Structure 1
Amino acid sequence: MKFIVSSSYLLKQLSAINGVITTNPVVPILENFLFEINDGNLTVTASDLQTSMITELQVEAKEDGSIAIPAKILLETLRNLPEQPVTFSIDSNTYSIEINSDNGRYKLAGENATDFPKIPTVSDGYAVNMSSEVLSRAINNTIFATSNDELRPAMTGVFVKLDETNTTFVATDSHRLIRYRRVDVAADMAHSMIIPRKALTLLKATLPQELTNVNVEFNASNAFFNFNQVKMICRLIDERFPDYDNVIPLDNNNNVVVKKGELLSSLKRIAIYANKTTHQVRLKITGSELMISAEDLDFSNEANERLTCEHDGEDLEIGFNAKFLVEMLGNIDSDEITIKLSAPNKAGIITPNDKDEEEDILMLVMPVMLNNQV
């Protein structure tokens, strides 16, 4: 088997799917790319059993065939080659691969393509179309709030609920919860699934900058994303997601409107002086004044800043984890935000004041008990 391809074109396509390959895979052959040629069309697959990514490109080839090629050494070779046509010659008996460039020859050992695990297909499933921009925004607004706790697998992914009128993306780690809803994405019938964080991280890195249509198909066990020349198949998390609607408080009538940029900058500075274990910051709202403070008694560090705000409700003092607040605010585009509170021991809700008509975003954060409230 022999084929010719542009070195930079091949590198670009391989780089798009390389993230799925792990350093210590369950099966050693998963350290390889699976190359399959059919009528001058090269299909390259990378997998870690849970998630698989596939890309297609046109090459010059006179015959069909397949081979598993070590990913690391191939990528490093291509990264260090200038743009030029490279020729791959594969011995189907010994699985040895020879790469010829303008002024060099590189030999490496491949593996039998039949040992590569079979990639699942989505049949008898549902389908929905969304733009790459919508999907990218949904991932960016939720993925940071997923949990790392493997004992609660449902929380390690993003819950997606498709409906006839909208699509909702939810992520929570039990300390905070993000609900991101789009009214411009709807399905023919209601369906829900939990997509793993790793798959979404790969998708986020691979989605094109320019507006592209993404076709999403799914059944009970897998989701299938298809855009440009890239396909991704991931195994869904087969767990029950927490009943998030019941967690969102409806009686938070203490509203604080504040400039997001000012609050974010202030929190970043104040957090430097907070306890390194709890990251606790204190928000004290008195009239139209918001006092942000933190202290680390172990090192006698303390800091406070004063901001102006629009406040409708009772004066209140509440503690939050600064790290969570900074991360949540960093993912909001709006210049102004509203913080809805009720009591020092009840969850706070953050919503952007300026938002796209097609989207609705709600961020919930649990309070940290202040020392004087114990």
Structure 2
Amino acid sequence: MEFKVNSKELEKLLNRIFPAVPSRTPMPILENFLFEIKDGLLTIYATDLEISLKSSLNVVADEDFKMVVPARLLFDFVKSLKETTIHFKTIGNGKLNLTTDIGKYSISYLDAGEFPEIPTISNAEAGELNEITINGDELKEAFERSAFAISKEEIRPAMMGVLFEFGEEGLRFVTTDGHRLVNLLKKNIKLDSFQQYIVPERAVSVLTKILDQKDVNIYFTKTHAAFKLTDIELITRLIGYKYPDYMSVIPLENEFLLKVKTKELHESIRRMMLFTTSNLRKVKLTINKEVIDVSAEDVDLGASGEEKVTCDYKGEPIEIGFNSAYLSDILTHLGSEEEIRFKLHSPTKAVIIEPVEKKENQELMMLLMPVRLNN
């Protein structure tokens, strides 16, 4: 078997799919690429069994062929080359020769039968497949707004991903770790029936890096989701647990309204973080009609800080505590909003945080649990 390929085209392809190659795995076969040549099309696959990536390019080949080649070695070798033509040729005994205009190289390859089967969405049973199309930048923004609140605790596996919930209002992206919750609604994307799919954090992380402004076709089955971009496809297992009833923790009676400039509050919180005790990281907000007193104290170091931030507040004066790192995370992911609104009820009830300015066909709400103040 022989084929030729431009080194820079191959480098671009390998760069797209290399994120699916695991750095550590008890299955050495996963540290390889699967090469498949069919009718002059080279398709390369990589998988860590949770996600799979594949991409293709046209090559000049003399026959159809499949083989498994070392991923890191090949990727690093191709990256090291200036633009040239690489001539691949199998010579038997599991050896693959690579020839360029300046050198000859040899690597081992394995039989393709040893590589795990890559799932395909076409295997879905009738009536099981749902399909949507979403702009890549929109999907990337949804992930960037929500992924920080994905739970890292394996004892709650359902919360270790982004919930795609299709309902009457549209598509919701929901994440929560029990302390924070993000609920982003896209009103312009709908399915005919109520559906929930949980996409794991690993797939979300890889997609965030490769999405662009072009549309993405997403296919959901009961067990897998496929994200088809222009020149790459990612297939991921879905998390097979029921997502918790997140709506039950969203308070309905938060009648006190606080409006504040996002940047001013965030800068104050970040400074107060310097004065928080390392394990509690507590910051206190004393909220009055026109001013928030932001304060923190590190008893161990004998250090404290206090600042005033202007605001517009309608409600009873309130003192409320937050984990400063969690609050800073939320403010970071609302950083593009000039003003935000806090909806409060009491020092012990969850607080709703949302942009003041609404976007067309979109609703964004974040929720943060307070921490108790030692008064």
TM-score scaled by structure 1?
A: 0.96
Determine helix, strand or coil for the equivalent of 2:54.
strand
Determine helix, strand or coil for the equivalent of 1:52.
strand
Gaps of 5+ in 2: none
User: Map of 1:132-147 to 2, 5 A cutoff?
Assistant: 132-147=136-151
> C-alpha separation between the residues in 2 aligned to 1:212 and 1:24?
33
Q: Which residue of 2 aligns with 1:19?
A: 19
Alpha-carbon distance, 1:23 to partner: 1.8
- Conserved 8 A contact 1:29-1:111: no
User: Map of 1:1-374 to 2, 5 A cutoff?
Assistant: 1-91=1-91, 93-122=92-121, 123-124=124-125, 125-208=129-212, 211-332=213-334, 333-372=336-375
> C-alpha separation between the residues in 2 aligned to 1:136 and 1:353?
22
- What is the RMSD of the two structures over their aligned residues, measured on CA atoms? 1.2
Alpha-carbon distance, 1:164 to partner: 4.8
Instruction: Report the AA paired with residue 80 of structure 1.
Output: S
> C-alpha separation between the residues in 2 aligned to 1:134 and 1:11?
28
Determine helix, strand or coil for the equivalent of 1:240.
coil
> C-alpha separation between the residues in 2 aligned to 1:104 and 1:6?
15
Instruction: Report the AA paired with residue 341 of structure 1.
Output: L
> C-alpha separation between the residues in 1 aligned to 2:302 and 2:101?
66
- Conserved 8 A contact 1:267-1:292: yes
- Conserved 8 A contact 1:67-1:95: no
Instruction: Report the AA paired with residue 287 of structure 1.
Output: K
Q: How many residues align?
A: 369
Instruction: Report the AA paired with residue 135 of structure 1.
Output: L
> C-alpha separation between the residues in 2 aligned to 1:129 and 1:95?
42
Cα deviations by residue, 1:239-264 (Å, 9 ceiling, x for unpaired)? 11110011000111111100001111
Alpha-carbon distance, 1:355 to partner: 3.2
> C-alpha separation between the residues in 1 aligned to 2:306 and 2:70?
55
> C-alpha separation between the residues in 1 aligned to 2:5 and 2:332?
42
Alpha-carbon distance, 1:188 to partner: 2.7
CA 1:79–1:297: 2 relative to 1, 3 Å = same
Determine helix, strand or coil for the equivalent of 2:275.
coil
Determine helix, strand or coil for the equivalent of 1:66.
strand
Determine helix, strand or coil for the equivalent of 1:129.
strand
- Conserved 8 A contact 1:166-1:183: yes
Instruction: Report the AA paired with residue 367 of structure 2.
Output: L
> C-alpha separation between the residues in 1 aligned to 2:166 and 2:107?
47
- Conserved 8 A contact 1:268-1:326: yes
Alpha-carbon distance, 1:165 to partner: 4.0
> C-alpha separation between the residues in 2 aligned to 1:293 and 1:197?
34
> C-alpha separation between the residues in 1 aligned to 2:97 and 2:318?
71
> C-alpha separation between the residues in 2 aligned to 1:325 and 1:24?
34
Cα deviations by residue, 1:91-123 (Å, 9 ceiling, x for unpaired)? 3x4221222222122211121111111111222
- Conserved 8 A contact 1:328-1:363: yes
- Conserved 8 A contact 1:145-1:172: yes
Determine helix, strand or coil for the equivalent of 1:354.
coil
Superposed structure 1 runs of 4+ greater than 3 Å apart: none
CA 1:340–1:165: 2 relative to 1, 3 Å = closer
Determine helix, strand or coil for the equivalent of 1:276.
coil
Determine helix, strand or coil for the equivalent of 2:93.
coil
Determine helix, strand or coil for the equivalent of 2:102.
coil
> C-alpha separation between the residues in 1 aligned to 2:57 and 2:167?
35
Alpha-carbon distance, 1:287 to partner: 2.0
Q: Which one is further off, 188-197 or 156-165?
A: 156-165
Determine helix, strand or coil for the equivalent of 1:256.
strand
> C-alpha separation between the residues in 2 aligned to 1:292 and 1:105?
66
> C-alpha separation between the residues in 2 aligned to 1:179 and 1:121?
30
Determine helix, strand or coil for the equivalent of 1:249.
coil
> C-alpha separation between the residues in 2 aligned to 1:215 and 1:12?
22
> C-alpha separation between the residues in 2 aligned to 1:217 and 1:164?
19
> C-alpha separation between the residues in 2 aligned to 1:304 and 1:201?
37
